[in-house]
Amino acid sequence: MLIALLPGDGIGPEVVAEAVRVLEHVAPDLRYEQAPVGGAAYKATGHPLPPETLALAKRADAILFGAVGDPACDALDRHLRPEQAILGLRKELGLFANLRPATLFPELADASALRPEIARSIDMVIVRELTGDVYFGQPRGRRTTDTGRREGFDMMRYDEDEVARIATIAFETARGRKRRLCSVDKANVLETSQLWRDVVIEVGARYPDVALEHMYVDNAAMQLVRAPGHFDVIVTGNLFGDILSDQASMCAGSIGMLPSAALGAGGPGLYEPIHGSAPDIAGQGKANPLATILSAAMLLRHSLGRAAEADRIEAAVAAALAGGARSADLGGSHSTREIGDRVLAALA
Ligand code: NAI
Ligand code: MG
């Protein structure tokens, strides 16, 4: 099994290095090939997503991605900016499903934006559609009306195949958990959402063992703060998912703790921490590598079907936290490397 390592910029290489140490320990048979991406690739080759990097990503069984973004590249043309690399990878690999678990490790209850007793109940996965909706729908644009007023418009649009494939991933995810799926939409107002709801119900007929409910997005935003323990798996469109997944991540503690997966139709999945390249702390050994280590666990589970090894990594992270491992974002002083050491020690 070949893993493409795309460490990228800023703290990306620092956190990916620790995740690789952990992977090498639990799954010694994996092979790795590394390629530059983002600002690092722009500096080396003149493009943030060079053809060799894309080719490696396509031929790998899974991709472990750090982060892209470099203040030194801020003045570049939009299509040469480091961030284009992650958008290009999602598009080229057809990664239409974004899985973001939000789980609070009990030791970190004080770090949550919520009251600790509410925060402790959080254990959910948000499945966000990633390649459709109002972010991509046509037509879109700006114009001046006949009466001379400026106008901007975007098209919210889904077809039934796009909804069915994300719903299938969500039902499968729920099957591997508590078998509860909440589909979030705005079907009281939007045609797109009415189609979304119809198709989710149709796909649900194949999953009679999963309890399906529907919730309007405004209510879901409220329930995420009021009673997050209500949710097991949430499935929603690109726009609603963008907002709800950021909201859920703040409920679950530091940005340095949260992994993600982007999955497509049969090709390799891409796994990355939800944070960026954190230029403010890059090169100082301060970054929390746990989001990337937990992303590596997701890689084992979702792309390689090696759930037992994923469980081992997650248990080792919990044990390291219980043993007092704390990087600066969690109020401690352990370095990136020391956090990696403690996870490895918990695996031994
Ligand atoms: P960021 O996530 O890089 O940093 C936000 C804050 O969180 C900073 O104070 C940072 O020090 C802290 N932080 C982030 N990860 C951390 C970790 N593992 N441990 C400890 N502290 C951590 O977001 P920001 O500052 O908005 O963006 C910086 C660059 O990253 C930009 O160029 C942005 O475009 C890019 N970015 C890239 C992403 C990706 O590669 N998928 C995602 C988000 C941002
Ligand atoms: Mg966002």
Query: Where residue 267 falls among pLDDT bands split at 50, 70, 90?
Result: confident
Report the C-alpha gap between 256 and 52 in whole angstroms. Answer: 30
175's tokens: 């099957």
Query: What are residue 235's phi and psi, to 5 degrees?
Result: -120, 135
Residues in a beta bridge with 214: 183
218 is a catalytic site residue: yes
Q: What pLDDT, on the 0 to 100 scale, is given for residue 266?
A: 79
Residue among 2, 133, 137, 112 at smallest CA distance from 64:
2
Helix, strand, or coil here: 128?
strand
246 is a catalytic site residue: yes
Let me know if residue 302 belongs to a domain. Answer: yes
242 is a catalytic site residue: yes
Tell me: do 144 and 54 sit in the same domain: no
Number of domains in the chain: 2
Report the C-alpha gap between 280 and 287 in whole angstroms. Answer: 10
135 is a catalytic site residue: yes
% of the chain surpassing 90 pLDDT? 84
Query: Where residue 111 falls among pLDDT bands split at 50, 70, 90?
Result: confident
Name the average pLDDT for the chain. Answer: 94
Tell me: do 79 and 96 sit in the same domain: yes
Let me know if residue 111 belongs to a domain. Answer: no
Q: What pLDDT, on the 0 to 100 scale, is given for residue 338?
A: 98
Q: Tell me how far the alpha carbon of residue 61 lies from the centroid of ligand 1, in angstroms.
A: 26
pTM reported for the whole predicted model: 0.91
Let me know if residue 113 belongs to a domain. Answer: no
Q: Tell me how far the alpha carbon of residue 230 lies from the centroid of ligand 2, in angstroms.
A: 23
Q: Which of 275, 288, 330 to mutate to test the pocket of ligand 1 (most atoms within 8 A of CB)?
A: 275
61, 242, 311, 341: which is the annotated catalytic residue?
242
135, 154, 178, 311: which is the annotated catalytic residue?
135
Tell me: do 301 and 222 sit in the same domain: no
Tell me: do 30 and 76 sit in the same domain: yes
What does the pLDDT average to over 302-330?
A: 95
pLDDT at 110 over 80: no
CATH code at position 38:
3.40.718.10
Let me know if residue 91 belongs to a domain. Answer: yes
Query: Where residue 120 falls among pLDDT bands split at 50, 70, 90?
Result: confident
Let me know if residue 109 belongs to a domain. Answer: no
Domain extent, residue 142, equals 123-251
* DSSP codes, 13-57: HHHHHHHHHHHHHH-TT-EEEE---THHHHHHHSSSS-HHHHHHH
Helix, strand, or coil here: 318?
helix
Determine which of 47-51, 175-179, 229-233, 252-256 has the lowest per-residue pLDDT on average: 252-256
Report the C-alpha gap between 126 and 123 in whole angstroms. Answer: 10
- Where residue 35 falls (left for φ over 0; alpha for ψ -120 to 50; beta otherwise) is beta
- DSSP character for 258? -
What does the pLDDT average to over 177-197?
A: 98
What does the pLDDT average to over 143-158?
A: 96
Protein residues whose CB sits closer than 6 Å to any atom of ligand 1: 11, 15, 67-69, 83, 86, 255-256, 272, 275-281, 287-288, 291, 329
Residues in a beta bridge with 2: 31
Question: Over the stretch 54-67, which tens digit does the pLDDT of each residue have?
Answer: 999 999 999 999 99
Query: Where residue 93 falls among pLDDT bands split at 50, 70, 90?
Result: very high
**ipTM of the complex, rounded to two decimals:** 0.98
| 305 alpha carbon, distance to own chain's centre | 18
74, 159, 198, 246: which is the annotated catalytic residue?
246
186, 207, 232, 329: which is the annotated catalytic residue?
186
Longest CA–CA span in the chain (Å) reads: 72
Query: Where residue 155 falls among pLDDT bands split at 50, 70, 90?
Result: very high
- DSSP character for 77? -
Ligand nearest to the CA of 249: 2
What does the pLDDT average to over 78-90?
A: 91
Let me know if residue 108 belongs to a domain. Answer: no
Q: Which atom of ligand 1 is nearest to the CA of 279?
A: 28
Q: Which of 255, 271, 272, 329 to mutate to test the pocket of ligand 1 (most atoms within 8 A of CB)?
A: 255
Helix, strand, or coil here: 324?
coil
